[in-house]
């Protein structure tokens, strides 16, 4: 009788988690995508498979959190205001430190007056955006069901970081003896 040498194919399983933990898992999976040192192809395959499975969930979360057009219009004007009143670097570009525009001290008062007026004009859009952000933040702790490709513990490289393994615990099945 001929023996089948193919290993059992693992199909995605549904697990219960929170949206926040799914995001953390996706971040770890994306960082692991670039790592080297797996003893066999199963581990990088499982990483890639889980990224693919989680992409649709992440796209849904991004759509939910996406700012509406009224807030985007406000933010665009706010950036324009920052550029108008910020210091310029040696190349004539806006000076940015720690992702913040550096406002020219001589123009600070004018900037503040215009920013207050801008916020007043877009008060409703800002309030709606803040409410949406609070709602999204609360939703992140809600339970959800996601598809995952189970990673056998025997596939995980010995040099795996404990923090990465901890985040992926729901994805890992202990298949080691003893």
Q: Is the pTM higher than 0.85?
A: no
Residue 57's pLDDT is what?
93
In this predicted structure, what is the pLDDT of residue 2?
Answer: 46
| Torsion angle, alpha carbons of 100, 101, 105, 108, to 10 | -100
Mean pLDDT by 10 residues, the chain (178 residues): 50 91 95 76 92 95 96 97 95 94 96 98 98 96 95 89 92 89
CB within 8 A of 175, min separation 6: which ones? Answer: 152, 153, 154
How far is the C-alpha of 13 from the C-alpha of 170, rounded, in Å? 11
Rounded to whole angstroms, the Cα distance separating 149 from 151 reads: 6
* Rounded-to-integer distance, Cα 176 and Cα 134, Å: 43
How far apart (Å, rounded) are the C-alpha atoms in residues 27 and 33?
Answer: 10
The predicted structure's pLDDT at residue 1: 46
Dig out the tokens for 58 from the structure.
């992440």
Q: How far apart are CA 146 and CA 54, in angstroms?
A: 7
């Amino acid at each position: 009788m001929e023996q089948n040498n193919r290993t059992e194919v693992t199909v995605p399983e549904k697990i219960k988690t929170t949206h926040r933990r799914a995001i953390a898992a996706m971040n770890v999976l994306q960082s692991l995508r670039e790592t080297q040192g797996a003893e066999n192809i199963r581990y990088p395959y499982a990483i890639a498979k889980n990224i693919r499975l989680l992409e649709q969930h992440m796209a849904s979360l991004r759509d939910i959190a996406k700012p509406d057009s009224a807030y985007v219009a406000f933010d665009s004007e706010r950036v324009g205001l920052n550029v108008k009143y910020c210091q310029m670097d040696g190349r004539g570009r806006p000076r940015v430190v720690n992702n913040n525009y550096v406002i020219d001290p001589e123009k600070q008062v004018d900037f503040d007056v215009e920013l207050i007026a801008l916020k007043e004009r877009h008060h409703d859009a800002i309030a709606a955006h803040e409410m949406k952000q609070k709602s999204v933040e609360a939703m992140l702790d809600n339970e959800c069901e996601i598809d995952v490709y189970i990673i056998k513990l025997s596939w995980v490289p010995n040099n795996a970081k404990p923090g990465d393994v901890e985040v992926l615990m729901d994805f890992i099945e202990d298949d080691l003896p003893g």
